[in-house]
Structure 1
Amino acid sequence: MIIDPAVFAAYGGLGLVVGFVAGLLGVGGGLIIVPVLIMLLHAQGLAAGMEPQVALGTSFAAILFTSLSSVRAHHRHGAIEWPLVRRIAPGIVLGTLAGAILATRMPAAVLKLFFVVFLFYATVQMWLDFEPAPHRELPGRAGTTLAGSVIGAVSSWVGIGGGTLSVPFMLWHNVPLHRAIASAAAIGFPIAAAGAAGYLFGGWDVSGRPAGSLGFIYLPALAGIALGSVLTAPLGARTAHRLPVRPLKRGFALLLGGLALRMLWTF
């Protein structure tokens, strides 16, 4: 298997952007990885008819690396709510794993449409800087597990570390913004682990996958994205603690909106 250096450089450049965004906003980077990787796979003529599954599986595997790097940086600032992370993790794992396995059996067009709709949702959320008013305490273990299952299931279909959903959930339950972002980065690890496992095993016996794949995880793309992301995730985390995040969120919203329109145009 020979990879064009220019293509590998594109994967690495994607990783640089993803790592910074993950550290800055706690969103895991999948909202960028998935649409860009679908475009790259299509341009290379790889994974025809299963580009969304390969992009989603590779996104989760990449978020494993991004999340670890981002979590270390946030932990050094003492910003992660570890009791909350431990309480929500079981539901996160169950929801993500079940959703990922289901996604490997779905038509690619359905997954792509779901992703485009979610991208538009994330664009509006980021642009409006939507922050639910904190007016209630965190639910008990059963309620937190249910919330984690929903966050995990939705995340499994869009290849994200859950920050787009878990940050509003935590803000709604009186967790301060910077601690919510940091905790979302930590929650991203069990989401990524369960999602990667689901797409790996769910795609293990599927024919037509690109050479160099493990299930629906495309290793050359994973290597480039992971290498780039671990370099910039700590920078993004440090930036989150030093600069106002709102203007950066709006810039990210414009990027997401552009990606959503590009995917819709080529649907």
Structure 2
Amino acid sequence: MTIELVALLLALGAVVGVLAGLLGIGGGLQVVPALVFILPMTGIAPELVMHFALATSLATIILTSGSSAINHIKLGNVDLFVVKWLIPGVIIGGFLGSFIADLIPSQYLTKVFAVIVLLLALQMFSSILIVTARSMPNRFFTAVSGIIIGSLATLAGIGGGALTVPFLNRHGIEIRKAIGTSAVCGGIIALSGMLGFIWHGTHADNLPPYSIGYVYLPALLCISGTSIFTTKYGARLASYLPSHILKRIFALFLVLISITMFLH
């Protein structure tokens, strides 16, 4: 870790915090692609880079989403009733996603990430055109939805906000409450997914120093060190920007990330 790399990771954390508060995405959509490019500079083996990027991203999301969730709760942007319905499913999904990711070679995981993100972008674009919303499903189907959200989110290292926000908004939860609620769920998904990656990583070879399983501690500390202080600015922006603008920002951002990872 050089001074230049530390500065780069600190700057990444600051951007992650703002976008996490603004879009309720936990930061994984920026952290994973950035770490895919940065981690090889630290000497991590190429076949382990994507696994480390996903696991470290989830570890940063625990703090980032926690900070973002606190700010959204203060602003009244969290539907705690919906959170209770989703928690069982997203916990199971977090562990399941880490198990699947451990079975996939690193070079294919980048493409899996790109496909998931592109599908999320298309889903968000389609939701912009929907005027009438559906009601929330019953507890069973909400829990099943949580498993799917948790699995895909962990597989992409994104904490779930990019899945949870469209799901909740489609089912009648106003966009600001959907973003705030997704921040709470994102922290829970990230915790279960990270623990799964730590478990699987302890059985891997060629782990670098200062790592716990697939979590790379220097990157975690640098990114988290700045992101937890900047989420409040994003949360404030989310309270003022019109809903349709938030959706367009969200969807365009997903397309950009997907293209970047396809070309990697």
Using structure 2 for the length normalisation, give the TM-score. Answer: 0.92
Identity %, equivalent residues: 36
1:155–1:211 Cα change, 3 Å: same
The corresponding residue for 2:191 is 193
- Residue of 5, 13, 22 corresponding to 2:11: 13
1:172–1:262 Cα change, 3 Å: closer
Amino acid at match of 2:222: G
1:203-256 deviations in Å (ceiling 9; x for gaps)? 012111221110000000000110111011111001100223654664565554
The corresponding residue for 1:215 is 213
Structure 1 spans left out of the alignment, 5+ residues: none
Hey, what's the Cα distance between the residues in 1 that align with 2:10 and 2:158? 18
Hey, what's the Cα distance between the residues in 1 that align with 2:258 and 2:172? 31
Hey, what's the Cα distance between the residues in 2 that align with 1:136 and 1:125? 15
Moved over 6 A (4+): none
Hey, what's the Cα distance between the residues in 2 that align with 1:146 and 1:224? 35
- Residue of 18, 28, 31 corresponding to 1:30: 28
Further displaced range: 107-116 or 151-160 = 107-116
Further displaced range: 243-252 or 193-202 = 243-252
Hey, what's the Cα distance between the residues in 2 that align with 1:179 and 1:260? 26
Matches within 5 A, 1:50-199: 50-125=48-123, 130=128, 132-199=130-197
Hey, what's the Cα distance between the residues in 2 that align with 1:15 and 1:222? 9
Answer yes or no: is the 8 Å Cα contact 2:210–2:216 preserved in 1.
Answer: yes
Amino acid at match of 2:83: V
3-state SS of the aligned residue for 2:204? coil
Shift of residue 156 of structure 1? 1.0
3-state SS of the aligned residue for 1:202? helix
- Residue of 199, 202, 209 corresponding to 2:200: 202
Answer yes or no: is the 8 Å Cα contact 2:21–2:233 preserved in 1.
Answer: yes
Q: How many pairs are equivalent?
A: 264
1:204–1:16 Cα change, 3 Å: same
Hey, what's the Cα distance between the residues in 1 that align with 2:27 and 2:232? 14
The corresponding residue for 2:232 is 234
Hey, what's the Cα distance between the residues in 1 that align with 2:129 and 2:84? 23
Amino acid at match of 2:259: L
Hey, what's the Cα distance between the residues in 2 that align with 1:131 and 1:74? 26
Using structure 1 for the length normalisation, give the TM-score. Answer: 0.91
1:248–1:7 Cα change, 3 Å: farther
Amino acid at match of 2:84: R
Answer yes or no: is the 8 Å Cα contact 1:133–1:172 preserved in 2.
Answer: no
1:90–1:132 Cα change, 3 Å: farther
Shift of residue 38 of structure 1? 0.6
Shift of residue 50 of structure 1? 1.3
Hey, what's the Cα distance between the residues in 2 that align with 1:197 and 1:13? 26
Hey, what's the Cα distance between the residues in 2 that align with 1:258 and 1:138? 30
Hey, what's the Cα distance between the residues in 2 that align with 1:135 and 1:239? 24
Hey, what's the Cα distance between the residues in 1 that align with 2:164 and 2:129? 12
1:157-179 deviations in Å (ceiling 9; x for gaps)? 11112111111111122111111
Shift of residue 17 of structure 1? 0.9
Provide the alpha-carbon RMSD of the alignment.
2.0
